Amino acid sequence: MKAPFSRLVYLIAFVVVATYAFVTLRGPHGIQAMMEKQRTIQDLEKQNSDTAKEIERMKGHLQRLSDDPAEQELEIRQRLKLVRPGEKVYITGDPDKK
């Protein structure tokens, strides 16, 4: 008498646990949410990698500027649009209309 009753209890417990697991995995915090989080993590890792490459490129540019005065002068002249006395500057294209 005890063996069939305990089997029934184990069977009911198993069905309850299996149902709970099924509902939990199908719910909003289940497998779909985990997959979405993995996709987000991959996107952020790629963004971090791209940012690290950009930082390294900028560090190299800064190193070249600090080592080479000619490069530094060229950068200053381009950014501030400076010319040396006696140089002629030719502007091509449409002038800004204000």
Instruction: Find tokens 């149902």 and name the residue.
Output: 19
DSSP sequence for 43-86: HHHHHHHHHHHHHHHHHHHHHHHHH-HHHHHHHHHHHHT---TT
10 belongs to a structural domain: yes
13 belongs to a structural domain: yes
Q: Retrieve residue 60's tokens.
A: 């190299």
15 belongs to a structural domain: yes
59 belongs to a structural domain: yes
Q: Count structural domains, the chain.
A: 1
Residue 47 is predicted with a pLDDT of: 98
Rounded to two decimals, what is the model's pTM?
A: 0.56
User: What's the distance, Cα to Cα, between the start and end of the chain in Å?
Assistant: 99
98 belongs to a structural domain: no
48 belongs to a structural domain: yes
Q: Assign residue 81 a region: left if phi > 0, alpha if psi is -120 to 50, beta otherwise? A: left
**Over the stretch 54-92, which tens digit does the pLDDT of each residue have?**
999 999 999 999 999 999 988 888 888 888 888 888 888
**Over the stretch 17-30, which tens digit does the pLDDT of each residue have?**
998 888 887 877 78
Domain that holds residue 15: 2-80
18 belongs to a structural domain: yes
93 belongs to a structural domain: no
